[in-house]
Amino acid sequence: MNIFAQGLIEHLRFKVSNGTATIEQLFDLPLTSANGPSLVGAITVVHDELETTGGNRFLKKTATSSKATDTLKLKMEILEFIIDLRETEKLDRATKAKNKALLNKLVDIQAQKDDEALLNLTDAERAEMIAKLK
């Protein structure tokens, strides 16, 4: 079953600095925050709870795993997915911004080259172009 579907069926709530958050609300949280709820804060809480219960998130379910540990592992998977998604989105935005800056630079260079080409025309060529454009 999909981790989000399972989390919704179980009505999971995640502890954040100002209370609790649903799965849907996690998507609205920033990655980090100095004084408010964040995804890093939520995953830290789950990680600490998981360590306290003795559950190792790297091990698959065992016969001795408890419902509480399984729930914490599910919360960890959900938070890891959302954090990975956010980091990918952040990288995509940075790449798009970098590409846009490069595009603008290339357009400016091309405009300069076009201006140079016009400046290099002879008087007769410029006059002919002006006459055609009128």
Whole-angstrom distance, CA of residue 32 vs CA of residue 90: 13
pTM above 0.75, yes or no: no
* pLDDT tens figures, 10-45: 999 999 998 999 999 999 999 999 889 999 999 999
Q: What are the extents of the domains in the chain? A: 3-133
How far apart CA 33 and CA 72 sit, in angstroms, is 23
Assign 81 a pLDDT band (cuts: 50, 70, 90): very high
> How far is the C-alpha of 75 from the C-alpha of 60, rounded, in Å?
15
Model confidence pLDDT, tens digit, residues 107-116: 999 999 999 9
Residue 55, C-beta contacts closer than 8 angstroms, at least 6 positions apart = 65, 66, 69, 72, 73
